[in-house]
Structure 1
């Protein structure tokens, strides 16, 4: 009894109805995969995804198709080919050119797809990065992080450009740390921590952004202490250790202990700095 209403819903003149119907198809797939496939709903979703004027309809179709085709890929060559089609240049560029129309959730969905795309040459890499440049200034942290993931993935084989990407993404990440709540700060700091471990010199001048604030939760402070230890060098060690010594008297005992350990780690790096 679902086939008729869903078929009508996907062709409805109202974008909202088409949006709901797209996820209705996914629900039908989970109830009866064979019925969904036999009714040719994936093909209808694909047509809507590539032709609908409403961005949310496109996003819902993409989400539903990804789930359906991923589930079918092991047993169906058609589904495997369709997944490859999703990662083809025309489809990727279609989504990229419409990315500003999508909601934040949908943008993350598209960016996750783009991160899996393999460009044919360096010019294509730069084209994609130019298209997504303004996403790094987006107010939503998830969109910024998804964009950063795309930049990092695209430039993995381009060492010089990869280093430039580090420089480019540094400011948006630091901004996210200071503007979000503790949960967002922790998530972003975790990403920053990985980058700091890979390229500590790039972040050595930004060490003050990793100073702890009194009202931050312990898990954020501990991560910041690790990062302060990682970025310490001859030029900033004195300032970092001076700050860490303030934390030693912290009423939060675990943080006080971690601060002492951090001072010890920095001292063992044997920098020739006065008072260390």
Structure 2
């Protein structure tokens, strides 16, 4: 029974829509017969079925020989379907594709722009070095084609030919330079893509096209905008001085052309514009990106992650930009851990005199979140370091956490206290820590408490001997970390008493 079930799922067996079991070999034989028919209606039916199988991810490469024979069909719709198939399988069936190369060359002269473009796409998909000169000739002719769509396809063919034969870079650069001057925005995005893939270091080619690219930016397709903004950002960073009071007119043109794109529905476009402003805009204009980036936090989690990483980077140098949007970085319980940690990082960097109490209240709620507890405790310590006026209340809260039942929280609190009180520790706070030593179970946390008391043993001279006796009783039950801490504490206490 199991072998029968396995047979049903094999590539050779398919279940038709009516529920009948069909052998793929039988189906392919029928399709081949239909493709060999003299009737265009049968050929069209066969090609529609084949393209349907391709769309479903089925392997129909064995039909290549039967399909390629119809590449010169008179029926325009049939020819389009044939080219769709050939574009998919030309790279896999190179030998058979080479047999029809003369047909593809003739198709480059076809009156229909879709056929010309499809022929060029098939030709550029044949990865055989010996036809590189033929491909180069086809690209040279196509970049000057009357159809903008054919010129766009020619731009995409350039990187394919360059990957096949790098020695043709010089000739391909001439084609790219010509395409960069194209008046149609349909072509420009693809031309810039070809530039980035073929000769990204030839920034000098952009000098004559820079202003026209800036003006065309708003009308280029979204993914073309992403590539263009990236290229223009590189150009601006290498060609213009850092803006201060006066902004270069050409840089101002780029910034004014990109600014409306902060409202784009495509998050990649918004991120590209934000990167441009962060690196190239004067300080007074950089803040315009904050609202657009915060808007992206309503998007999918993958987008949120990338945006938060970039916001955290910006906040490290310019936290004031995002301070008005503080509540946008409050954490929701339903969010994944990595998003929570990134938001916590941003929140910590945004803390200031005016919002520290709000941030601390928020952080206290995060201490109860299991996976976020350690990071939240550490963030409270960061608030104490950043805003001195709340240091005492933060320290008091951290000491209170030592009595927590959660060992991870206790460990994090003690480690943060150790960092904060390295140079100075108030006596009342040390006394509270000392009284809570019995409630600290984690070895690393106990060691940190002992280190803290030992560092400031001169302030608790009357209590240190009692603590030493308590620790001595439990010495045998401590692990290596705790025993070492006990030894160090005993040494510090003895030295202090002798002095």
Q: TM-score, normalised by structure 1?
A: 0.81
Query: Which one of 300, 303, 309 corresponds to residue 181 of structure 1?
Result: 300
Distance change >3 Å, CA 214–CA 45, structure 1 → 2: same
Q: Distance in 1 between matches of 2:324 and 2:172?
A: 55
Unaligned runs of 5+ in 2: 1-133, 395-499
> What's the offset of the Cα at 1:60?
1.5
- 8 Å CA contact retained: 1:136, 1:172: yes
Tell me the equivalent position of 2:175.
Answer: 44
Q: Please show how residues 171-210 of structure 1 align to structure 2 within 5 Å.
A: 171-177=291-297, 179-210=298-329
> What's the offset of the Cα at 1:185?
0.9
Q: Distance in 2 between matches of 1:240 and 1:145?
A: 27
Q: Distance in 1 between matches of 2:322 and 2:169?
A: 52
Tell me the equivalent position of 1:57.
Answer: 187
Q: Distance in 2 between matches of 1:138 and 1:175?
A: 11
Tell me the equivalent position of 1:76.
Answer: none
- 8 Å CA contact retained: 1:25, 1:36: no
Larger radius of gyration: 2
> What's the offset of the Cα at 1:222?
0.3
Tell me the equivalent position of 2:151.
Answer: 18
Query: Which one of 371, 376, 380 corresponds to residue 259 of structure 1?
Result: 376
- 8 Å CA contact retained: 1:136, 1:147: yes
> What's the offset of the Cα at 1:202?
3.8
Distance change >3 Å, CA 222–CA 104, structure 1 → 2: same
Distance change >3 Å, CA 85–CA 2, structure 1 → 2: closer
> What's the offset of the Cα at 1:145?
1.7
- 8 Å CA contact retained: 1:238, 1:275: no
Q: Deviations over 1:20-74 (max 9, x none)?
A: 222222211211223464xx34323321220242x2322222221333224xx6x
Tell me the equivalent position of 1:170.
Answer: 290
Per chain length, whose mean CA-contact separation is higher, i.e. which structure has more relative contact order (CA < 8 Å, sep 6+)?
1
- 8 Å CA contact retained: 2:353, 2:387: no
Aligned positions, number: 252
Query: Which one of 28, 34, 43 corresponds to residue 167 of structure 2?
Result: 34
RMSD, aligned α-carbons: 2.3
Partner of 2:333, secondary structure, is coil
Partner of 1:56, secondary structure, is helix
Distance change >3 Å, CA 258–CA 103, structure 1 → 2: same
- 8 Å CA contact retained: 2:277, 2:286: no
> What's the offset of the Cα at 1:130?
2.0
